[in-house]
Chains A and B, each alone.
Chain A
Amino acid sequence: MRSRRLVLALLVTTVATTAGLVATVGTSAAAKNVKIKVLLLAETKGESVNAVQYYDNGAKLAAQELGASKVEYTRIPAPLTPAQAQTALLQAIDQKPDVIIGLPASSQVIPLSQTIGQSNIPFFALSTAIQTIKSGPNGAPNLYLIRPLSTDVAAAEAKYVTKDLKAKKIGLVCVQNAFGTDSCNVARPAITAGGGTIAVERSNAITATDLTDIALAMKNVDAVLDFNFPNPLGVLANQLVQNGVNVPHVDGASAGIEVNAKVVQGDALKVFSGVDDCVPVADKSAAGKKFNKAYQAAYSEPPIYSAAEAYDMVKFAYAAAQKAGSTDPAKLEAQVQKMSYTGACGKYKLDSGNILLHTSYITKWSPAGAEKAIKKLTFPVTGAPGSTATTAPTATTAATTPATTTK
């Protein structure tokens, strides 16, 4: 039953996407097929406590659509622990793939950037840390960042809160890890630049289960700008509303996870918003719609941006190989450098920091949990004014969380 539906969907989408590919990539692909060996370095559901299925699902879908004659797809699970991820990375390199996609967490990519650099294999990472841009301390020429930098997103969010929401007194919450610390470091000046003031600043542990004290401290703010992890984010969203703090609560990519898990609903959801690289379920573009349909048919669940990105990257790599006419790393990378590709998650174009995607969306949800994009955020390419990566990033710094500004 399911398999028949799957086959049908595949048929439809293969035809459709091939057409789409031809349109975007141009004519050179038609001449000769260069088979490419793609390796995904990510865990899937059930392999560990933190694993999600989206990367594998998305990449596998793209590989199936292209077919075995064009893409050889393998996956090696990379646990979150960097040391174990390194073992997986070395195993991946040993398999001599043409392209590696993966390492979902910045905390995996940062320590492993040396190994990635030494491998000389084009590596499309899901890292969003500023340290991993090409000129950063943990960057490498062959390390490409699929997603926009979390610091760019943080600056844009601060701008959104001060300019679009016109909030003056802002409560800032930073989760106690690199993401939270770095994001807050960027958000602070951005808030001031936008004309707002930081009324309260608090931080919480990744494992926190009760954030009553933070909720109480946010009594008099106009908006809460939150850089948090899924579980404490959900707790805080609910406790804010319970304590009468009914002001906009803006968070990043964790927001979608909490809404999908139905942790945030009702009143808390009304004031809740997040940031996603793209919103495949609500995407009106041809590529987005196609992907959404194929994904739902294959896996009977709505896709999220990470599935779309993994899907796009497999197709992107294939397209680059066709253009290059070879899977030789140098030729392949030359194409990656200059290629422009529009996939399910939008337009990918490499900048000088080795970042591919330059857009994100502030999103909100209907009471039923349907995601919609509220505002498109466009990030300057690395080096241009406004990019957080303009000033050369320094080595991983010790946390510089300042003391709170209120009693």
Chain B
Amino acid sequence: MSTFVALLASGLAEGAIAAIAAVGFLITYKATGVVNFAQGALISLGAYIAFWLTQKKGAFGIGALGLVPGYVVAIVVMFLIGMVLERLAYAPLRGRSVHVVVIATLGASIVVQAFIGIWQGTSPLFLGSPVQGDIVHVFGAAVTWQRVLILIVTAIVITLTILLFQFTQFGRQLRATAADRDTARLYGVPVNMMSMLAFGIASALAALAGILIAPLGNLTVDLGFNTMLLGFAAAVLGGFGSLGGVVVGGIAIGLVEQLLGGYMVQWFGTGGLGDYKSMYPFVLMLIVIALRPQGLFTRGAGQRL
């Protein structure tokens, strides 16, 4: 029982990680129609900024911020970086096909990763967390608070995002901008501000994802890229573009990797199929693309890609 609960908790947390990584690029996708391949690099960058702010010397020698204030500042900084990124990398490409932006995001991703390597080095670092080392016992299974925190924050963030998109003036304007930029402008929607905000929010969410995920292990440059691959799998399972779907998709891949993978090791031992558990999410993803390219949980063609 405790094994099951522990593995279940691991699976759910991994699903939440995939989901929170995916929410960021889904927002850019919904607002601009672009799949942002730089989102992974932004996740790493957010975590590195948080690390930088909370170190002894701190940013620009101002001294260490507390963990939570450091996190908040990092998220705000990433929000601003996102807005700037929109001005620098997306706005000049506006009116061009989404493909140009997609390849530009690939370029941006390479640049950001290389920048982190030069700026903070490449040896593994560690980003602290206020709940570092705390554990909670559920049915005899020890679950770290960090994983519980990820689950909670992911739930809140996705709920808020859905509410934001569906029920606020801002959400309506954002959707209008995405659907038809020119018409939206005619109706008085501040379209430039909208896409800046979309990029800002996506980057802030990337920072949030990085800050939550990094304390689980080491902080390395490719943290974000690996997380983003999982996020892609979750988003594909959920039907690209559906925020509710990405949660279910994320949980599906988390359970497949941790729960199924964990039992595979128990049943077949090392050297068996359990050794391959980190590829389970991608196998699942390929199966879903083959059988239900519109995603598991959406009807209609969810692929305005």
Q: Do A and B come into direct contact in the complex, CB within 8 Å?
A: yes
Please report A residues at the B interface, Cβ cutoff 8 Å. 45-53, 174, 176, 201-203, 205, 207-210, 212-213, 216, 230-232, 234-235, 238-239, 241-244, 257-258, 260-263, 265-268, 399, 401-404, 407
Are A203 and B278 interface neighbours, CB within 8 A? no
Q: In this assembly, does B118 line the interface, its C-beta being within 8 Å of a C-beta of chain A? A: yes
Are A234 and B269 interface neighbours, CB within 8 A? no
Are B270 and A51 interface neighbours, CB within 8 A? no
Q: Which residue of B lies closest to A403 (CB)?
A: B269
Contact string against A for B residues 112-130, beta-carbon threshold 8 Å, 1 for contact and 0 otherwise: 0100011001111110100
A51 smallest CB distance to B (angstroms): 5
Q: In this assembly, does B184 line the interface, its C-beta being within 8 Å of a C-beta of chain A? A: no
Are A210 and B133 interface neighbours, CB within 8 A? no
Return chain A residues, CB-CB under 8 Å to B220. Answer: 49, 231
A sample of 28 inter-chain contacts (CB < 8 A) reads A47-B122, A48-B117, A49-B122, A52-B121, A176-B275, A202-B265, A203-B275, A207-B278, A208-B278, A209-B226, A210-B258, A212-B9, A212-B258, A212-B262, A213-B262, A213-B265, A216-B2, A234-B124, A241-B133, A242-B133, A242-B144, A261-B123, A261-B124, A261-B125, A261-B219, A262-B125, A403-B270, A403-B272
Q: Which residue of B lies closest to A201 (CB)?
A: B270
Complexed CA–CA distance, A244 and B142 (Å):
8
Are B126 and A263 interface neighbours, CB within 8 A? yes
Return chain A residues, CB-CB under 8 Å to B219. Answer: 261
Q: Which residue of B lies closest to A232 (CB)?
A: B217
Q: In this assembly, does B7 line the interface, its C-beta being within 8 Å of a C-beta of chain A? A: yes
Complexed CA–CA distance, A207 and B275 (Å):
12
Complexed CA–CA distance, A232 and B220 (Å):
12
Q: Which residue of B lies closest to A243 (CB)?
A: B142
Question: Using a Cβ–Cβ cut-off of 8 Å, how many residues does chain B contribute to the interface with A?
Answer: 42
Most buried by B among A52, A209, A267: A209
Contact string against A for B residues 188-221, beta-carbon threshold 8 Å, 1 for contact and 0 otherwise: 0000000000000000000000000000111111
Return chain A residues, CB-CB under 8 Å to B117. Answer: 45-49, 51
Contact string against A for B residues 257-283, beta-carbon threshold 8 Å, 1 for contact and 0 otherwise: 010011001100111100100100000
Are B123 and A257 interface neighbours, CB within 8 A? yes
Complexed CA–CA distance, A58 and B156 (Å):
49
Complexed CA–CA distance, A119 and B122 (Å):
31
With A212-B10, A243-B142 in contact, is A401–B270 under 8 Å at CB? yes
Complexed CA–CA distance, A283 and B10 (Å):
42
A361 smallest CB distance to B (angstroms): 21
Return chain A residues, CB-CB under 8 Å to B269. Answer: 403-404
B24 smallest CB distance to A (angstroms): 19
